Copies of this chain bind each other. A is one copy, B any other.
């Protein structure tokens, strides 16, 4: 394995000094790139892209070739586990992910298998292995999964939801069934993410996209608890002089800004935050790494607006160690690519003075 040439992202996740703030973007391999749209058109559907290691590898590398990003994230989906459990993940144009089968009772849950990552999810490991090789140590490679709660919402609702009525009914009316589902999912995520680490992932993201729809009490019991379970069993390695000997984990609960104190005690190395959070008010800065938090819609604006908003985020974070610049959510599909260029350059250039 070739040596890592750019370790800023991994250093920032360990709250170590860097020369400037590293940046990557959620959904950086995606539709806003013309080369992605071309690749996708050839591949046909989204799942074929995910399940064909060569295509997933190519999609992962595209943004790294075009921009000076400090990390790559494996091209995949947060819902691979329920798909591997047999629910049949599919995508309809212009809509979110959907499942052919849904989960509605204890019986459904009891029958769910825990996927063997070496079997039904082997395609992800193959994609990671291939991409790692192709990257040649240019930047670190991130592996990921959806959080148990987030996976469960899609499995019970059958897709994305505005009101989350079905899963909330389960939560309040059949909490034991939901806990069983979440436990199965947590165990599956542990196996899955450890396999990703073994395949070469150098950092892990847990996307808790829907944790923010829970009450503060339910968040702790139904989302954070299971992420803590995962964190306690990931084979992260040991911190050492060799920065790559340790695999840092970032938890991102969208809409979880009110609970940063609790999340910071979860055992995660970094917390992802969205744009509702004023980085200035995060008390844990310097102790735990923070990832975020530009509103992705800012990338619609002109160069000056992008730069002044980058400046705001950097100033809010200030002179601490442990900042990974990112958007507060995935990049929109219709962002002009030159605006991404402004963003990346501006983060690198303007952050230098905070790291002297």
Q: Which one, A52-60, A164-172, A194-202, is touching chain B?
A: A164-172
Q: Which one, A32-40, A117-125, A213-221, A283-291, is touching chain B?
A: A213-221
Q: Is the CB of A297 within 8 A of B217?
A: no
Interface residues of A in 157-195 (CB under 8 A from B): 162-165, 168-169, 171-173
Mask: chain A, 327-356; 1 = CB below 8 Å from B; 0 = not: 010001010000000000000000000000
A305 in contact (CB, < 8 A): yes
Complex Cα gap A305–B169 (Å): 12
A302 in contact (CB, < 8 A): yes
If the complex has contacts A214-B276, A332-B163, are A168 and B255 also in contact, measured as CB distance less than 8 A? no
A134 in contact (CB, < 8 A): no
**What B residues does A217 contact at CB under 8 A?**
278, 312
Residue of B nearest to A174 (CB): B301
Interface residues of A in 198-232 (CB under 8 A from B): 212, 214-219
Question: What range describes how many residues of A lie at the interface?
Answer: 20 to 34
**What B residues does A312 contact at CB under 8 A?**
217
**What B residues does A328 contact at CB under 8 A?**
215
A295 in contact (CB, < 8 A): yes
Interface residues of A in 76-107 (CB under 8 A from B): none
A55 smallest CB distance to B (angstroms): 26
7 chain-A/chain-B pairs, Cβ below 8 angstroms? A165-B334, A171-B297, A172-B305, A173-B302, A214-B276, A219-B276, A258-B276
A46 in contact (CB, < 8 A): no
What are the 10 A-B residue pairs with the smallest beta carbon separation, nearest first?
A168-B297, A172-B301, A215-B275, A216-B278, A169-B300, A215-B295, A257-B258, A173-B301, A172-B298, A172-B300
8 Å CB contact of A276 from B169, B212, B300: B212
Complex Cα gap A306–B307 (Å): 49
A135 in contact (CB, < 8 A): no
A112 in contact (CB, < 8 A): no
A47 in contact (CB, < 8 A): no
Mask: chain A, 249-281; 1 = CB below 8 Å from B; 0 = not: 000000101100000000000000001111000
